[in-house]
Amino acid sequence: MTDALAASCERAVHIILPDGEIVSAGRASLYALDQVGWHALAAVLRRRPLVWLVEAGYRLVARHRGLLSRVLGPGRSG
């Protein structure tokens, strides 16, 4: 693994597809969604402009994952 790839992996999930292509962030999430059986939803969300919203949402969640973990994490009461 190169230093650049390691740094990139710290910011987003990466999936290596069977053909060797690497997808990351929102597109990797959509690939995973498709693989677990949500084919129609993943297909719709892959289309422009929705894929851009998926990517923006992924970046927002990734940037604030520490806060989200504290707010939504297992130690939460209520």
Dihedral angle sign, alpha carbons of residues 19, 24, 27, 32: positive
pLDDT at 75: 64
Taking the CB of residue 15, how many other CB atoms lie within 10 A of it?
15
pLDDT at 4: 87
Strand partners, 40: none
pLDDT at 55: 97
pLDDT at 77: 53
Sequential pLDDT tens for the chain (78 residues): 789 888 888 889 999 999 999 999 999 999 999 999 999 999 999 999 999 999 999 999 999 988 988 888 876 554
Which residues, 6+ apart, have CB-to-CB distance to 24 below 8 Å? 8, 12, 13, 14, 15
